[in-house]
Structure 1
Amino acid sequence: MLMRHRNEEPSIDATAYVAPSAVIVGNVRIAPGCRILHGAVITAEDGEVTIGENTIVMEHALIRGRSGHPAHIGAAVMIGPHAHVNGSAVGDEAFIATGASLFPGSRVGQGAEVRINGVVQVNTVVEAGAVVPIGWVAVGDPASILSPERHEEIWAIQRELDFRGTVYGAGPDVPMRDLMRQQSEYYGAHSEDQIIEG
């Protein structure tokens, strides 16, 4: 399904394939040879999404572009099933495995791998060719790549990366009720979306 959002429409090269059950919303640019499989959601909230040539987006992956944090996916990239790529830049020939999560402001270099259920935290830079092992967390710039049981070390770096400010545009003292009211208003813009092609 293709949808107009915030007066922007997707642009999909004629040689790309988008499965009928995929949802493409707003200012999304899909290059030649891309394959967007069933259940994938690619949504340009208020920032663009670009996907380079011959990139594969597997079933039920989510790619989201945001203001200040567009999603740029390079050429010949694999985005695995159930992966979450939110406001991240992914270099050419990278491998983002099943269930991986990339947060706003993160960058994954050319040929890098984020393996099954790996996490790349906000404003984190994974160098070209680096590997985030299964279930591990990359945090910082340059990234420290740590196993999940090293939570205290991860948090010591992560707390300096401004997760709330980067993801929600809010300071640490904003109450959750206010934060979710802001998010409700932000995502409320979808109530005016228009189906272009179903």
Structure 2
Amino acid sequence: MLYSLEDLSPKIHETAFVAPSAQIIGDVEILEGASVWFNCVLRGDAGKITIGKGTNIQDGTVIHEETTIGENCVVAHQCLVHRCTVGNNVIIGNGALVFGPAEIGENCVIGAGSVVIPGSNIPKNSLVLGIPGKVAREPSQENLEMTARTAANYQRNRDRYLKNLKEVK
């Protein structure tokens, strides 16, 4: 569902997919080829949220406050992303928490269940693990390929859902 709040209204590119149970509120922009999956909440009532081209926001994720997520990113299931800037080609693993203000550079992997704390500035090409999240090393080629493969899979799935999703009554 899309909701305006005062003079703030979502802007969804015609090639983006937003699942029917997702809640998109206020100043949210979802760019070309992006997807927001079931039971997500993107609440743009305290700053603009921008979801980059080809990025997928997976089931149950919450995004709030001023947040920009780059192109071809994967925000996996059940994440909380709050007041941050995320570069291109980043994967934020299942259940990870990102508390801002924070910046995450391009080509990063935020491990499942990790917690990025306020004030973090994660350099590009970093693998972050733990609570609080710390840079463990650079992501492997396999890590980077997984991010690209997952982004591409969700882009194909987006097209499938745009064409074929039908409510059963």
TM-score normalised according to structure 2 size = 0.77
Instruction: Please report how far the alpha carbon of residue 6 of structure 1 lies from its aligned counterpart in structure 2 after TM superposition.
Output: 3.2
Q: Quote the residue 1:137 is aligned against.
A: 132
2:99 is the alignment partner of 1:103: yes
Specify the SS of the correspondent of 2:46: coil
Q: Quote the residue 1:81 is aligned against.
A: 77
Partners of 1:145 and 1:119 in 2: how far apart? 12
Q: Which runs of 5+ in 2 are unaligned?
A: 137-169
Q: Quote the residue 1:123 is aligned against.
A: 119
Deviations 1:139-173 (A, max 9, x none): xxxxx548xxxxxxxxxxxxxxxxxxxxxxxxxxx
Specify the SS of the correspondent of 1:45: strand
Instruction: Please report how far the alpha carbon of residue 42 of structure 1 lies from its aligned counterpart in structure 2 after TM superposition.
Output: 0.6
Deviations 1:57-97 (A, max 9, x none): 000001112xxxx1000000000110000001110000001
The residue identity in structure 1 corresponding to 2:123 is E
The residue identity in structure 2 corresponding to 1:28 is V
Q: Which has the larger radius of gyration?
A: 1
Over aligned residues, Cα RMSD in angstroms? 1.2
Partners of 1:136 and 1:145 within 8 A in 2 = no
Specify the SS of the correspondent of 2:43: strand
The residue identity in structure 1 corresponding to 2:79 is A
Structure 1 or 2: more strand by fraction: 2
Partners of 1:137 and 1:145 within 8 A in 2 = no
Partners of 1:28 and 1:42 within 8 A in 2 = yes
Partners of 1:136 and 1:145 in 2: how far apart? 11
Partners of 1:45 and 1:119 in 2: how far apart? 23
The residue identity in structure 1 corresponding to 2:114 is G
Instruction: Please report how far the alpha carbon of residue 104 of structure 1 lies from its aligned counterpart in structure 2 after TM superposition.
Output: 1.6
Instruction: Please report how far the alpha carbon of residue 136 of structure 1 lies from its aligned counterpart in structure 2 after TM superposition.
Output: 3.7
The residue identity in structure 2 corresponding to 1:79 is V
Q: Which runs of 5+ in 1 are unaligned?
A: 139-143, 147-198
Q: Quote the residue 1:56 is aligned against.
A: 56
Pairs aligned (count)? 136
Partners of 2:55 and 2:47 in 1: how far apart? 20
